[in-house]
Structure 1
């Protein structure tokens, strides 16, 4: 993995309050898991950055190394790795994701 890809990923994660690394885009997801997480985020009506990992092999592999997590999508909030589809879905169902994002909604 190239250092430049990891630096690019790190910059995106640190520049945005909410970042979703996904296959496709929020408007045109390319896998069901990415579609699920984007749909959950859209319910909160908060702006978020979405990175389409299908546009770059370096980013697709680099995000797995960056987080030490083998699957995509991956959600980051305030620079912290939250998890993939299953974790985000569970946090949404339990209300934990709402609590995590609550302070961001006040700032929006």
Structure 2
């Protein structure tokens, strides 16, 4: 399985997936911390991939998602966006609506 196939498999298997630097318990950059905080405030259930421990994914994901930076939040396999987008959507309520559609209790 090549890296792009692995990414597509991760997206298919995880309804809400955050590619981030570090872990939710210990984000390694402020942008990842902001995205984690936004998801946590909504009580979201999500999976994550620490791209610092997955250099091939860190290298390949931007060309798959057409988004150059991390973190990257995906819901049902679709890119939502990075930290600023996630925080803005959390603030205006649209992120909660998207998460509710996943079927996860939020």
Equivalent pairs counted in the alignment come to 105
Secondary structure of the 1:71 match is coil
Runs ≥4 in structure 1, deviation > 4 angstroms?
none
Unmatched 5+ stretches in structure 2 = none
RMSD of aligned Cα (Å): 1.4
TM-score scaled by length of structure 1:
0.90
Unmatched 5+ stretches in structure 1 = none
**Would you say 1:86 and 2:84 are equivalent positions?**
yes
2:13 pairs with one of 3, 12, 15: 15
Mapping for residues 51-90 of structure 1, pairs under 5 Å: 51-90=49-88
Secondary structure of the 1:90 match is helix
Residues 26-52 of structure 1, C-alpha deviations (whole Å, 9 max, x = no match) = 001000000010111112223211000
TM-score scaled by length of structure 2:
0.92
Residues 24-78 of structure 1, C-alpha deviations (whole Å, 9 max, x = no match) = 0000100000001011111222321100000122110111111011000000001
